[in-house]
Structure formats: structure tokens, C-alpha cells
């Protein structure tokens, strides 16, 4: 594959920064770098622009350092909440990636951050709080606290069976032969509430058996 030498006019991740002279595939330069204004052919005339490009690079990097330092101070104060679906057992569906974090930073705090600056040892697959590393600049490294929360409603605990009531439920008749406390026996209506019915304690005392007349002696009949 044919190569060509170009002078970068802008920072190109993975390739170089302003004023760098690099070799790239001719097709890549022709179809992408030149049309996007990211590079110019390396010619005697263009080499005169190198010094100006270097000065622009220094100014850009100084501005980025200042901006990332300020951003670092703000991010360390934040707690980013990541909502995610889980099963009933609390196990997450999927995982939290650098792209997920970048999207939530943009959505919740309007912070635009390249996901390549978010460094995860591995995707996050557990609920709770985590601390991740952010490499904002070559000289600026900070951390961000995130909390992964489940959006799945918690399952309601199973209700314990109601204890059997000792009294008959309202509207339920007691089984045959069983008399509830305070009820009159079946077949013998309770008449104690009648005004002409004296209470047991108010009935006149019965005559003493000693006041009765003695019975005559029993005469045996001759056999």
C-alpha cells in the first residue's frame, strides 16, 4: 500500500498533533485527512507553516489543561446515578460501560466527555457505589463516584397466613351443635330480656323441705 508524508494541521487521536509530520496511507490522506482539513501534503511551501502550527498547538494544549483541571474539580464533587434494570434477585441485565457513563454525564449534568477518557478495568456488573478513573488530560487524572441503582420495583414480601380466629367470622353461622359464648342454646330462646321474666337471682326462695308435712308411715300389706 502506497504511503505519503503529510503535515497535521489539527490533533488527530492515535496519529499526532499540529505540526507533526507523519506517514499515512495515500488513500487515507486523500479520502479523509485532506477533505476534513486535518492535514496538508508535505511540500516545501507547506513546511513554512510548521512553526505557526506549533504555536497553535501550544496554545491549544494550554487551554485544554486549564479546562480539564477545572472539570476535574467539578467531577470529583458529583455522584452520578446510573439506572439499570435488574431481575427479582437483584442481578443486573447487562452492564455499565464507559459509553453508559458518558451518556449519563451528558444527560444529567450536561458534561460532554469522550468515553475514551473513562477508564474501567472491566464493565460494572453490580449494584451499589463505585469509583472510576477519568484520564482527562496527560497531566490530569481524577475519579468519579457513581451509584448503580435498580429501576425494577422491589418484590412484595409474601403475606403470612392469617391466624385462625377463635370467634365465628361475621355473617358465618356456627357449626351445628356448637353454641357461641353469650348465645342462647338452640331450641331454648333466651327470655331473660322479657320484663315479666325474673332473673334467676330475683326468683323467690323455694320453701325449706323441713316445712313440709311428714308423709304417713307406709303400711306393709300382708303377704
At 209 the pLDDT is 56
Residues 106 and 130: their CA atoms lie apart, in Å, by 19
At 206 the pLDDT is 56
At 201 the pLDDT is 47
At 89 the pLDDT is 77
At 146 the pLDDT is 96
Domains and CATH numbers, the chain: 3-48 (3.40.5.10), 73-150 (3.10.430.100)
At 128 the pLDDT is 93
* pLDDT less than 70: residues of the chain: 154-223
Half-sphere exposure of 170 (CA within 13 A, CB side): 0
At 49 the pLDDT is 92
At 80 the pLDDT is 96
Amino acid at each position: 500500500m502506497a504511503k505519503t508524508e503529510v503535515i497535521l494541521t489539527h490533533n488527530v487521536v492515535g496519529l499526532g498533533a499540529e505540526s507533526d509530520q507523519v506517514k499515512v496511507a495515500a488513500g487515507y490522506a486523500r479520502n479523509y485527512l485532506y477533505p476534513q482539513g486535518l492535514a496538508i501534503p508535505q511540500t516545501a511551501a507547506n513546511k513554512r507553516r510548521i512553526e505557526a502550527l506549533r504555536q497553535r498547538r501550544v496554545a491549544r494544549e494550554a487551554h485544554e489543561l486549564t479546562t480539564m483541571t477545572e472539570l476535574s474539580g467539578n467531577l470529583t464533587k458529583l455522584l452520578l446515578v446510573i439506572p439499570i434494570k435488574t431481575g427479582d434477585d437483584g442481578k443486573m441485565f447487562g452492564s455499565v460501560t464507559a459509553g453508559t457513563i458518558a451518556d449519563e454525564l451528558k444527560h444529567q449534568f450536561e458534561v460532554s466527555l469522550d468515553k475514551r477518557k473513562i477508564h474501567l478495568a472491566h464493565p460494572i456488573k453490580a449494584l451499589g457505589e463505585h469509583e472510576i478513573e477519568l484520564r482527562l488530560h496527560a497531566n490530569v487524572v481524577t475519579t468519579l463516584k457513581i451509584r448503580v441503582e435498580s429501576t425494577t420495583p422491589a418484590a412484595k414480601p409474601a403475606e403470612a397466613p392469617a391466624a385462625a380466629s377463635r370467634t365465628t367470622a361475621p355473617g358465618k353461622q356456627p357449626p351445628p351443635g356448637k353454641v357461641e359464648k353469650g348465645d342462647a342454646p338452640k331450641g331454648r330462646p333466651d327470655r331473660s330480656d322479657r320484663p315479666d321474666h325474673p332473673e334467676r337471682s330475683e326468683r323467690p326462695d323455694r320453701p325449706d323441705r323441713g316445712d313440709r308435712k311428714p308423709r304417713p308411715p307406709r303400711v306393709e300389706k300382708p303377704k
